[in-house]
Structure 1
C-alpha cells in the first residue's frame, strides 16, 4: 500500500510517498481503509524534528506521520467484536501511521460515524473539537466570562471560538494574521479581532480576559499573561510557534497578586470513556449542522508535502485533509 514517509526531518521536502506492507491488527486493534486523513499541527512539529521532550522519540527513519483517520474497518484483531467490520469510523492512530491507505488503531480510540457525517468532516473535528471542549473545561470557563483564542484560524481555534460563543461567553477575541481571517472568525462567534501580538485591529478594545486558550505558545507567550484579568486562566494546548521562553515563569510570578494561572492540556489525560462520549456527541451535533467543520482544502495523499508547506506558510484556515 502507499504511505507518506518522512525520509529526512526538517523541511516538507523530506516527505515522500513509499510502498509499505499492509498492516495486520494485533489484539485489541483494527485496520481501517482510510477515506480521509487529518493534517494537524502536531504532524508539522514531528516532521520538523522538534517534538523533543514533549513526546516519544519520533525521529526514526521512514516514520509515517498522521494521528487521525476516517474510513471503513476492514480487519479486527483478537478481542475486538466482529460487528465492527465494515463500519464507518474515525480513529486516533497514536501520533503516527495515519498518512497511509490503511491504518491501525486501538479499538478504544475508535468512534463510529453517524449518518450524515462525512469522513472529511470527521477528521476535521475528531481531535480538534474535543481539545476545544476540554480546554475550556480545564479553564473552568463560565457563562458571561471573556475568552481569547490565540491562533484561532486552525481547526482547534475555530472549534474553541464556536464553543465559547455558544456557551455564553460575554466576548470572544481572537488573534490571527489578517483582517480577512478575522472577518471569517466572526462568522463563528468571534467578537474582537487582534493581531498576532494581541493588539486590537478595530475599536473597541476588548480589555483583559478571564480565559485564554493558547494554541501558539512560542516567545510571545509571556506578553499574553499580561492580558489575563485577575483570577484569569491560560490553558496551553499547542506549540505552533515552539515552546515558550525558559524564563516565562518570571512573567507569571510578576502577576502573583492577580492570582493568574497557566495550565497545559492534552487529550491524553482525559479518561477514554469521557473522551469517546464527548466526541460522539460532537459528531452528532456536526451531522445536524450545529457544529462547523471548516476544511481549508482536500488534497491527494501524494500532496502531503504541499499540505505541510501551506501550514508552514500560515495559509491554512481550518484543516487540510488528505485522501488516498
Structure 2
C-alpha cells in the first residue's frame, strides 16, 4: 500500500515521504480499515514537528481522523492507532472505539466529524453548559475546529460572534451563520464584542488559539462567563491572571477531548448519537474546503500548519466511489 511516513521531526512538507509499504497488522482488539477519507488536523502538524503531547516512535504515519471501511463493508469513523495513522491506503483502529459514519454525510464530511465536532460538543455542552439565548464567541471561526463550534453554537440556540483573520475568512464565517463577524486584522476585537453585546460581553468563549486571542477573551467575557481553552494554534500558551478571573467573576475551563475516550467512553458514544442526529437534520455539516489526492497530502499539511486554509482539508486515497 501507499502511506506517508515521517522518519524525522520537522515541518510536514520537509519530513513526510510517500512510501510503498506493507499494510499494518491489527493487534488484539483492532481492525484493519480501508481508508476512504482522512481529515487533516492541526495535531497532525504537531506530530510531524514532534510537538504534540503524544510522540509516536519514528517512523510513523500521521492522520488522526478517518472515515474507513471494515472488511465486512461497514463505513465507520475512527482515530487510527499510531504509529500507523490515516494518511495511507489502510490503517488500524481499536474495534471498540469505531463509530458508524452518518448516512447524511459523504466520506470526506464523515472523516471531519469526529475530533472537531466532539471537541466542540464537549466544550460547549459538557464544560461550558451553553444555554439558548447566550452569546458564544468563537476564535478562528473559519477554521476546522472553529467552524464546528459555530455550527454547534447555532444549533444550540446561541448568538454566535466569530473572529476570523482577513476578508476571505470573515466571509466564510458569515456563510457559516455567525451573527456577527470580527476581522482580527482590522477590527478591535474587544471593542467589537462589547458593541455587539451591548457592553455585557460574551457568555461563553471558545478558544482554540491561545496567545493574544486568550488575552482578548479575558477582556470581553461577561459576568459569570466561561472561557473554554481547547488548543494553542498560535503557538503561545497563555498564563491566565487568576486574580482577574476572581475580580471579574468568570471561569477558565480546559477541554481535552481525548481524555473522555479513556475516562468516559460511553459519553463519546452518546455525543456521536447527538452529532448524527444534528447531521441528519441538516443542523451541522463539516465545512470541507478541499478534497486532495493522497499524493498531495504533504503540501496540504503544510498549508494547514500555516493557517492559510479554511474549514477542513481532506485527503482521499482514491476518488470516492472508485476502487483502489
Q: Which band: TM-score by shorter chain?
A: 0.7 to 0.9
Distance in structure 1 (CA, Å) of the matches to 2:55 and 2:77: 25
User: Matched residue of 1:194: which SS?
Assistant: strand
Residue of 66, 71, 79 corresponding to 1:69: 66
Residue 299 of structure 1 and its aligned partner are, at CA, apart by: 0.8
> Using a 3 Å threshold, how does the CA distance of structure 1 residues 292 and 200 change in structure 2: closer, same or farther?
farther
Whether the 8 Å CA contact 1:195–1:201 is kept in 2: the answer is no
How do residues 1-324 of structure 1 correspond to structure 2 at under 5 angstroms?
1-11=1-11, 12-51=13-52, 55-58=53-56, 60-74=57-71, 85-94=72-81, 96=83, 97-137=85-125, 138-169=127-158, 171-196=159-184, 198=189, 204-206=195-197, 207=199, 208-245=201-238, 248-250=239-241, 252-270=242-260, 271-324=264-317
Distance in structure 2 (CA, Å) of the matches to 1:259 and 1:95: 41
Whether the 8 Å CA contact 2:75–2:100 is kept in 1: the answer is yes
Residue 199 of structure 1 and its aligned partner are, at CA, apart by: 5.1
Distance in structure 2 (CA, Å) of the matches to 1:232 and 1:203: 14
Distance in structure 2 (CA, Å) of the matches to 1:244 and 1:101: 35
The size of the alignment, in residue pairs, is: 306
* Bigger mean CA offset, 203-212 vs 305-314: 203-212
Residue 220 of structure 1 and its aligned partner are, at CA, apart by: 4.4
User: Matched residue of 1:125: which SS?
Assistant: coil
Whether the 8 Å CA contact 1:122–1:283 is kept in 2: the answer is no
User: Matched residue of 1:180: which SS?
Assistant: helix
Considering only aligned residues, what root-mean-square deviation do their CA atoms show, in Å?
A: 2.2
Distance in structure 1 (CA, Å) of the matches to 2:23 and 2:149: 37
For residues 221-260 of structure 1, the C-alpha deviation after alignment (integer angstroms, 9 at most, x for no partner) is 2332111111111111122112424xx232x322322221
- TM-score, scaled to structure 1: 0.87
Whether the 8 Å CA contact 2:38–2:66 is kept in 1: the answer is yes
Distance in structure 2 (CA, Å) of the matches to 1:143 and 1:287: 21
Distance in structure 2 (CA, Å) of the matches to 1:243 and 1:276: 32
For structure 2, the residue ranges without an aligned partner over 5 or more in a row are 318-324
> Using a 3 Å threshold, how does the CA distance of structure 1 residues 200 and 230 change in structure 2: closer, same or farther?
closer
Distance in structure 1 (CA, Å) of the matches to 2:194 and 2:222: 19
User: Matched residue of 2:70: which SS?
Assistant: strand
Residue 135 of structure 1 and its aligned partner are, at CA, apart by: 0.6
User: Matched residue of 2:240: which SS?
Assistant: helix
